[in-house]
Structure 1
Amino acid sequence: MMVWAGRVISALVVLFLLVDAYTGLFAAQTLKAEMDATGFPANLVPAIGIIALICGVLYAIPATSVIGAVLTTAFLGGAICTHFRVGEILSPPQIVCLVVVVAAWAGLYFRDSRVRQLMPFKV
């Protein structure tokens, strides 16, 4: 049961990252206002989409899921930091990024016994 819960949570994380990648690669114009607000040039949106795609693919593959979780944490941690920099403390994008990172590690914890051995929480 715990493994299936981990798979479902992980699938939602992958779905989030793939939608983020799709938006960055194929609908970059929809993010122009957000990029301007954070001080990043809009021409970086496709690169951000590629990073999200790489994170999602690595996280989805069991053999590379831990590095995918680490990279996802770094990627979304950068997004959280960016919103802090512009004065958006506890903004919806920050909360979503935090929830996705926690979900990524929770999904991995539930579906991978090696991660449970490294982080021996009682569930």
Structure 2
Amino acid sequence: MPTIAETEVSKPARIIGRILSGLVIVFLLFDGAIKLVPWPVVTETLDRMGYGSSETLARSLGLITIVCTLLYSVPPTSILGAILLTGYLGGAIASHVRIGSPLFTHTLFGVYLGLMVWGGLYLRDGNLRTLIPFRR
């Protein structure tokens, strides 16, 4: 069965992509870890967002965050992880829109993080470049 040839990725692009992806991975693993504990700031934030101060919900969200981030961090499953993280971040954005959070600091933070997820992956993964080519 023929396969699609992987697009060549330059060394600088790969390095920048790994740095961007690494920042996202560290941030999301930390975010997931504090939800597993869960620290009072996590349950208080859930309560302010209208979900109640449920430790079970916080732990569930933490586990989902960590699993999706680990999928993103492993090259064979990185595209699946990016898709799952996009859905997760979309839910966070919708929650902030629902409660009227400040636009640039809270609501759009998920967009910023999503751009870093996909930007880092696009820069480091030739398969994604083949799947979504930009014309020059």
TM-score (norm 2): 0.84
Tell me the residue number matched to 2:69: 56
Deviations 1:14-35 (CA, angstroms, capped at 9, x unpaired)? 1111011111012432212211
Tell me the residue number matched to 2:59: 46
Shift of 1:89: 5.2
* Aligned residues: CA RMSD: 1.5
2:39 aligned partner, one-letter code = A
Q: How does 1:59-78 map onto structure 2 within 5 Å?
A: 59-78=72-91
More moved, 59-68 vs 32-41: 32-41
Tell me, what secondary structure is at the counterpart of 1:121?
Answer: coil
Is residue 85 from structure 1 mapped to residue 98 from structure 2 by the alignment? yes
Shift of 1:109: 0.3
Deviations 1:57-92 (CA, angstroms, capped at 9, x unpaired)? 000000100010001000011000011111225152
User: Is the CA contact (8 Å cut-off) linking 1:28 and 1:46 kept in structure 2?
Assistant: no
For structure 2, list consecutive stretches of 5 or more residues without a partner in the other structure.
1-11
User: Is the CA contact (8 Å cut-off) linking 1:38 and 1:82 kept in structure 2?
Assistant: yes
Identity in percent: 36
Tell me the residue number matched to 1:119: 132
1:110 aligned partner, one-letter code = L
2:129 aligned partner, one-letter code = R
For structure 1, list consecutive stretches of 5 or more residues without a partner in the other structure.
none
Shift of 1:93: 2.4
Tell me the residue number matched to 2:3: none
Tell me the residue number matched to 1:30: 41
User: Is the CA contact (8 Å cut-off) linking 1:28 and 1:45 kept in structure 2?
Assistant: no
Tell me, what secondary structure is at the counterpart of 2:134?
Answer: coil
More helix by share: 1
Tell me the residue number matched to 1:12: 23
- Larger gyration radius, structure 1 or structure 2: 2
1:49 aligned partner, one-letter code = G
2:58 aligned partner, one-letter code = V
Following the alignment from structure 2 to structure 1, what is the Cα–Cα distance between the partners of residues 100 and 80? 30
Tell me, what secondary structure is at the counterpart of 1:69?
Answer: helix
- Size of the alignment, in residue pairs? 123
Following the alignment from structure 1 to structure 2, what is the Cα–Cα distance between the partners of residues 21 and 27? 9
